[in-house]
Structure formats: C-alpha cells, structure tokens
Amino acid sequence: MLKSLAPLWALPWLAWCCAGQAQTVAPPAPPAELRISAAQSQALGIALVPAKAVQNLVVAATGRVQPALGAQSAVAAPFAGAVSRLLVAPGSAVRAGQALAHFNSPDWFEARRAQAEARAQADLAEGTLRRDAALYEEGIIPAARWRAAQARVQETRAALLARTQVLQGSGIQAAAQAQPVLVAPAAGTVIEVNAVAGQRFAAGDTLFRLAQGQQLEVEALLPATAALPRAGDAALMPTHEAAGTVLAVVPALDGSATQRVRIGVTQAGRLQAGQSVPLQLRLAAPSQALPAGQALVQVPARAVFQWRNQPAVFVASGDTVRPVAVRPWSADDDTAVVQGALGAGSRVVATGIAALKGLLQGEP
C-alpha cells in the first residue's frame, strides 16, 4: 500500500525540481556593463569624449521682436466697412493724424447723419428755450413749461456730445474730397498691417499696429519640460548683435503646455520689431539643487540615447562600458547638457552607440 502511494507524495518534489530546472535554462538578464577590448573598440568604431563641466546652461530658442509693453498701440476699425486704399506699409514712420488708409463705411456715414440730426435737435431746443424764457418772464407760460424747455436743451446737448465723441474717437477724418480716411492716433512706426485693399472688416478688427519709441522686447516660447530661466538671466542674440535680460516667465494660456519668456532688450543691435530671431538663454547652473552624487555636464548631443524608456549615455571606465541614466537640461544640434551620476572628465561614448546597445541587449 505504501509503495503504491509513494509516487503521489513524490509529485510535489518532482514539480519543484522541474520548476528549478526551468529556471536554470531561462535567458540571463542583460548585463549592466560591457567589457570591451581595445581591438573590439576599434572594430566597433567607438570614440570617447570627455564630459565638460557646466557653469551656465544655454537654452536655444526662437523669439519674436516686438515693442515693449506700453510702447505700442493698435488702430482698430471703429465701424464696419471696406478698405479701398492703403497709404502706409510696415516700417513706415507716421506722425499723429497722418492718414493710414481710405475706406468706405455705411455705418460711419450713418453716424455722421445721426450727429447732424442731434445738432439740429439741440439747435431747435435752444431756440425753444429762448422763446419760452421770454414768455415766462412776461408771465404768459407757467414755470413748469420753462423748466421742461431747459431739460430738453440738456437732453439734446448730451445726445449731440455723445454723437460727436463717437466720431472724434473713431480716428476717422473726412478729406477734402469727402473720402473718409483712418488716421494714426500718435506718431510712431507701422509694425503690422492687417488690412488689404478691397477687404471688408468688422467693427473692432485691428487694421494696424504702431510702435512708439525705441524700447523693444523679445518673446520666446519654451516647452514646459525644458530648463526654464529666471528673471535676471541673460539672453544673447548674436546673429543680430543684440542682448537682453529675462523679465518674466509665465505659462502660455493656449493649452499648449509651453512657457512664455519675456526678454527686455538692453542692446538693440540690428533688431527690428516684427522680426523672428534665434536666441540663447544663459541660465545659472542649479548645482545647489542637484541630488548628491550627480552633476551637470556637457556631452555631444549624439551621445544621448534611449535606454529602458529613459535618456542615457555610455560611460567608459577602464575596459568596461556601462549605460548611465541622465536627465537632459538643454540641447542643440551639437551638444547637450545633462544631469546624472557622472562628472567632468568622465569618458562618454560619442560614436558606436548602436553597436554597444546591440551588445548590451544580447544581440549577435
């Protein structure tokens, strides 16, 4: 009886043995480092470059030059209508009251008609008041009628004033040929023209933008994942011999997860409002905020690769090479600034990376 039962209690032991055998034939985990001989290194085309210490982060971006806040004005259409002729172009210097464009607007003519009607009503009310005042002094009409005439004069004067202010504030003048023109509200330089001859526009549409004075700003957009500057950091625009200082960094409100960087221009160089310019933001390296054992270093941009879903670089030590996870802070076509467990002078693999990744993953 016991002999017949023996195989039954042997089953768990046999299963454990089989499981153990299955574990021994599983493929080994990828190595954490590779041992590369000099001959292999030459055959794989591996080149090593020393990592460089970083004193300042340099973030490349593209910015748009614009007049400083408070030094620009918009010329909007006060009435619906159509532009019949443009009289200025971007870059034109204009004086206050200078004509910017001819236009036709039925609403403007209606506003002038309403002003003329209000003036006629005001003149009529004042004439009535003078007549009623004389009649009241002679005792022919009661005081209530005289006070009503006074109130009517005040009412018509207010209506005339409102109609006049609408036309005066519109920035529209009637030329000698009765062709209305839109005029500049102040002296400055035309930096933007949104109107086209023959184009219709709605009331409130911006037709022109003017810049007053010479003070300029540059606005750049950076992704939220990039290293962000702080107020006071320097900005260089070497292609235009210009420089500036970061004024503020604020989130963009268009849902794009970007940050708007405002830069005050301290050296204008060859900048002009409306230009798009490449710029370099020089950020102070945040060494005091780095974890222990990590540093910011500059490496070739091609040395950074993806390893296990995160950026990494290959670091050589003796005859071994190992991947080191890094966090990119900034990059351009040639170099990248990264944070990781490597320091200045660490030998970083710049070429032959694809071959090393294949060896690390066990590929033949």
More confident site: 212 or 254 = 212
Element spanning 267, H or E:
strand 258-267
The answer to whether residue 74 scores a pLDDT higher than 70 is: yes
Q: How confident is the model at residue 237 (pLDDT cuts 50, 70, 90)?
A: very high
pLDDT at residue 108 in the model: 81
pLDDT of the residue at 286: 60
Confidence of residue 18 (pLDDT cuts 50, 70, 90): very low
pLDDT > 90 fraction of the chain, expressed in percent and rounded: 27
Instruction: Count CB atoms within 10 A of the CB of residue 300.
Output: 17
Q: In this predicted model, which residue has the larger pLDDT, 14 or 195?
A: 195
Q: How far apart are CA 160 and CA 107, in angstroms?
A: 17
What's domain 34-55+288-360's architecture?
Beta Barrel (2.40)
Question: Between these two residues, 173 and 314, which has the higher pLDDT value?
Answer: 314
Identify the architecture of domain 72-211 in CATH.
Beta Barrel (2.40)
pTM for the whole structure: 0.52
Q: Where are the domains of the chain?
A: 34-55+288-360, 59-70+214-282, 72-211
Question: Rounded mean pLDDT of the chain?
Answer: 82
Residue showing tokens 């944070």: 339
CA distance 46 to 319: 12
The CATH class of the 59-70+214-282 domain is mainly beta
pLDDT (0 to 100) of residue 303: 92
34-55+288-360 matches 72-211 in fold: no
